[in-house]
Amino acid sequence: MRCTGIALGSNLGDRLENLRRAKELLSSISTGPVLAAPVYLTEPVNCPPGSPDFLNTVIEIFHEGTPAELLEKTQEFQRHLGRTEPAERNAPRVIDIDLLYYGGEIVSTDDLELPHPRITLRQFVLRPLADIRPDLVLPGQTLTIAEHLERLEEPALPVVAREW
C-alpha cells in the first residue's frame, strides 16, 4: 500500500463539482484515509490564450498495486468524467488528474514520471500539497514541500473551498 499524491484541476463546466466527482472516484479505490487540500483559483499556465481560470487542489490516497495501474485508473476516471483528448496541447478541460508521487518510488517511463517533474515549479500544485503535507520530502529531493513553496516567492492564491 503506497501513499500517493494526486493533483486535480478543472477549468470547464462546474469546476468544483468536477473536482468533487474526481475525489469520489479516487476515494473509492483508496485503501486508507483520504486527505484533501483546499481548492484554489489559479490562472492557466502554458494554456491557449483566453483559457478560463482553473480550480486546483491535491488529494492523497493509499493505493495497492503499481503506479502504472493507478495511472490507467486515473485515465479511466478522466474519460468517465467527460475529458476528451484535446486537439491543442493544454487546452481547457473538464478534469485533469495527475499523479504527483507514489510513496518513495522513482518511476521514469514513456507514460509516467514520478515524482512529477514539475511539482516544485508550480504553485498551483505546491500550495495545496503544502496544506496537507508540508513536511514531505519527495524522492530525490532534499527540501520539504513547504520549503519549495517558499522559494517560489509568488503571491498567495485565493481559496475557493476549504471543505469540498
The set of catalytic residues is: 83, 93, 96, 98
Closest CA to 137 of 97, 101, 83, 164: 101
CA distance 105 to 67: 9
Q: Are 31 and 1 in contact (CB under 8 A)?
A: yes
Q: Which three cell numbers stand for residue 125?
A: 500544485
Q: CA 51, 97, 125 angle in degrees (round to 5)? A: 75
